[in-house]
Amino acid sequence: MNQKINIIGICPETLLFQSSYVPLISFKDEEQKKAAEDYITGEAKKFFDILLPDQEVKPLAYPMLITELDFQKIDMRYFYENLFYDLERKPDGKLEAKIKWGITFDEKCAPINLGYLSPKYDGYEPKIKYTSSDGRPYRRYGTIDINGNAIFYYIYFTLQEILDEIKQLPNS
């Protein structure tokens, strides 16, 4: 009964994950990887089209993501190298951070649920919906803020929704 079942691997050191709490997700081939990434970036675009329609946002590489536990021990260089490397000055002299985003599978990183309130809402019965007309959930998310301004967005995904996307491929 001491056989290894090899279900879960560990992150190779060459990927240099910043966090011990970010899982490594792997797919069988490049087509599945591309489908998963296309799905994630498409959903992120929809999310930001609703939340920040006129703002440019950039993804942060998955291995560079951190969780709330990492804040207790992360070196401050992390923030300068990953979130503030592209600061710009506005005409009024204030610094402006470029907003970044990354995915998370950790619900604790995404405590906010982006819902939909019908334009016909009359103010009496709460009719907030947390699923779209096609049944997909509106996004849970969380932020890293500086002076009350979000500089980074965690966008929550479930492994199931990514698997559902992969299963739609013709050779799956």
Nearest-10 crossing angle of helices 30-51, 159-167: 120
- Full pLDDT tens readout for the chain, 172 residues: 555 655 556 666 657 888 888 888 888 888 999 999 999 999 899 888 888 888 899 999 988 999 888 888 888 898 889 888 888 888 888 878 889 999 999 989 988 876 655 566 566 655 555 555 555 557 789 999 888 889 999 999 999 889 999 999 887 5
Residues across the chain: 172
Amino acid found at 108: K
**Domain map (residue ranges) of the chain:** 13-167
Q: Give the global pTM.
A: 0.79
Q: What residues contact 89, with CB distance under 8 A and at least 6 apart?
A: 95, 96
